[in-house]
Structure 1
Amino acid sequence: MKYLFATALFGALLAYSFTPACAAEREPYGIGLEGFAYPYPVSMLPLVNDGDQVRMAYMDVAPAQPNGRTVVLLHGRNFPSSYWAPVIKTLTDAGYRVVVPDQIGFGKSSKPMGDLHFDTLARNTVTLLDHLQIAKADIVAHSLGGMLGVRIARAYPDRVNHLVLTAPIGLEDYRLYVPPTPTEKILENEDKLTADGYRKQLETNYALKLPPDQVTPFIDARFNIKGSAEYPRWLRAFVASAQLIYREPVAHEIPLITQPTLFIMGADDHNAPGRPNAPEALRAKMGQNAELAKAFAAKMPNGRAEVIPDTGHLVFLEAPAKYNELLLGFLAAR
């Protein structure tokens, strides 16, 4: 029954992001995901990051009956922001304006050649709020977006009402387990990865509870780029995001968050970036994410953790009914 429910809610995303023609018959996507449709109109915000002219893509979705509040959705590393489609509908149906950016280096946004930094991504996101004349918003973040959400809440506390961390990574400092890996080595490994290998990687690392066909748009979003003339630039940006996760931990900041914070965790989500590179004796200690979230929530002045059974990393797609119940209930609490 859970799969049927997830399939129904996720169908809208598939309709927008996946066409029946096989990938081999399609022209390659551009590195700005040209050719990969999003569920709502996409706008671009010009920015300057480290002296580079870049553009930040975003969706700004208005509700039919506004409640006067705005939610910002922050995506994960391996997913275009279009995967938030079911959550966007849930929130707009409840009256929320929903702003959904692709961070610089991801999705339809610019792909810089240099390093990525959470402080820069946080500043970009707040600049977007300024551009849209949004003084304060609720932040709902997933995976890598959870690390960014922590940084935004800490650096700009007056701009955040509530923080929802959906299966976040970064609940531990991966440097304590994984030795540094040269960028060139990560580039080599990522370039060798096949579409089948990537599917297995997602299924293993994320304990996905979705039917295989629902994972296909994520495979396409990455591997249709591989035929692009600018694929090396995309790959460089993708690898920069892996180094970002490793080099800029946020775990030590989480207990200091003062805004009401809800962790929504999948019980089976043991995702831990870099675990294959850790010494074998340490690997089993990594990725105890549900337990880490509960421990953090207990230390925070306004923290709470909810764990959804039989659910992996894509908790809002795998258990949509329970996720929506927790999300809307938390946001409605003043």
Structure 2
Amino acid sequence: MATATIGDITIGYEDEGAGDTLVLVHGHPFDRSMWRPQVARLSRAGWRVIAPDLRGYGESTVVPGKTTLDVFARDVAGLLDRLGVERFVLGGLSMGGQVVLECHRLFAHRLRGLVLADTSAPADTPAMRGWRRSTAERLLREGMGPYAEEVLHKMVSRSAPPEVAAHVLGMMRGTDPAGAAAALRGRAERPDYVAMLAGVAVPALVVVGADDEFTPLADARLMSDALPDATLVVVEGAAHMPNLERPADFDGALQAFLKAL
């Protein structure tokens, strides 16, 4: 584990391996440990793999209030500046995938490829914006425990290995409610990225769990159809976190994509 001071916050991150750089951005309400299988496998396969904790999560600084996606994106860029990385492949899952899209909006010239896992490009509907804001208040009021129990089997299927379910539940319970609430409020205000997709000039891998209820196959197909150079991979037997439920399938698709770059 390493930390870096970026502006007025401290970011915890993993930095393993050597070679071309792959950066992996976690989802909500998780931390960088969700990428543990990918960091281990890809760092042994000739890649330098960097996985940060976003502000408000894991071992990074918790900043209450509201954290918009551009703030997350600039934190990622700041960390990579500190580590001397100019160009990289960037991947993210769920909210992390939306951070990837925001990074493309802000500094597309630095990206060699995109990995968009179990995420969606459109802006929130008014109803979803209301849900995110009310959920933020709920987390501050109740803590993470009740929410974590409620959504566990949407994050991973009931057939997921017990150790995977325990890991996911532990990440959710361990997240600071103030950090999670700030991200929910900011995410409700994110722009619509759909029109941007046609202008993406690098290859993209779009991955989705076949049983994902949060960001189903239709969301993945919308992105893969709009992107000029995209590969769509559907991971059978997985819900919202195929990288943990079916790591062999997920990593196989990711390695094939990286090899083709």
Q: Taking structure 1 as the reference length, what is the TM-score of the superposition?
A: 0.71
* CA–CA separation in structure 2 for the residues paired with 1:87 and 1:175: 33
Determine the structure 2 residue equivalent to 1:265. Answer: 208
Q: 1:160 to 1:192 in 2, by over 3 A?
A: same
Matched AA of 1:46: T
Q: Is the 8 A contact 2:154 2:240 kept in 1?
A: no
How far did 1:102 drift?
0.6
Q: Contact between 1:187 and 1:235, CA under 8 Å: does it hold in 2?
A: no
Matches of 1:106 and 1:224 in 2, distance apart? Answer: 9
Equivalent position amino acid for 1:296 in 2 = M
DSSP-derived class of the 1:174 partner: coil
Q: What is aligned with 1:300?
A: 227
Structure 1 contact 255–296 (Cα < 8 Å) conserved: no
Amino acid at match of 1:254: L
Instruction: Report the alpha carbon displacement of residue 43 of structure 1 after superposing the two structures with TM.
Output: 1.8
Deviation of the 1:104 alpha carbon: 1.1
Q: 1:194 to 1:265 in 2, by over 3 A?
A: closer
The one of 306, 317, 322 aligned to 2:249: 322
Label 1:305 to 1:182 Cα distance change in 2 as closer, same or farther (>3 A): closer
Query: Matches of residues 163-202 of structure 1 in structure 2 within 5 Å?
Result: 163-168=114-119, 170-178=120-128, 180=130, 183=133, 186-188=136-138, 191-192=141-142, 195=145, 198-202=148-152
Contact 1:187 1:236 in 2 (8 A): no
2:130 counterpart SS class: coil
What's the counterpart of residue 104 of structure 2?
153
CA shift digits 1:111-134 (9 cap, x unpaired): 012320211211111111111111
Verify: 1:311 aligned to 2:238, yes or no.
yes
- Amino-acid identity (%): 23
Q: Secondary structure at the match of 1:247?
A: coil
> In the alignment, which residue of structure 2 is the partner of 1:246?
188
Distance, in Å, in 2 between the alignment partners of 1:188 and 1:333 is: 44
Q: Tell me if structure 2 keeps the 8 A contact 1:208–1:311.
A: no
Give the partner amino acid of 1:43: A
Pairs aligned (count): 260
Corresponding position of 1:113: 64
Please tell me whether the aligned partners of residues 136 and 185 of structure 2 are also in contact (alpha carbons under 8 angstroms).
no
Aligned Cα root-mean-square deviation (Å): 2.4
Letter in 2 for 1:58: Y
Query: Hey, what does 2:168 align to over in structure 1?
Result: 218
- Kept after mapping to 2: 8 A contact 1:72/1:98: yes
**Can you give the 5+ residue segments of structure 1 that lack an aligned partner in the other structure?**
1-41, 226-233, 272-286
User: What is the match of residue 76 of structure 2?
Assistant: 125
Moved more, 98-107 or 234-243: 234-243
In 1: Cα distance, 2:102 partner to 2:248 partner: 29
Are the structure 2 counterparts of residues 182 and 290 from structure 1 closer, same or farther at C-alpha, using a change threshold of 3 Å? closer
Deviation track 1:220-265 (CA, whole Å, cap 9, x = no partner) reads 344457xxxxxxxx32221111122221144333343221111011
CA distance in 1, matches of 2:205, 2:174: 35
Question: Do residues 47 (structure 1) and 6 (structure 2) align?
Answer: yes
Cα distance change on mapping 1:193 and 1:120 into 2, 3 Å: closer
Question: Shift of the alpha carbon at 1:70?
Answer: 0.8
1:264-314 CA deviation, whole Å, 9 max, x = no partner? 11111021xxxxxxxxxxxxxxx4x21222232122211221112222111
- Post-superposition offset of 1:203: 0.6
Question: Following the alignment from structure 1 to structure 2, what is the Cα–Cα distance between the partners of residues 184 and 238?
Answer: 12
Letter aligned with residue 202 of structure 1: L
Kept after mapping to 1: 8 A contact 2:91/2:116: yes
Q: Quick one: which amino acid aligns to residue 205 of structure 2? A: L
- Contact 1:208/1:312 (CA < 8 Å) preserved in 2? no
2:44 corresponds in structure 1 to 93
Larger Rg: 1
Cα offset, 1:214, TM superposition: 2.6
**Could you tell me how far 1:326 is from its partner in structure 2?**
0.8
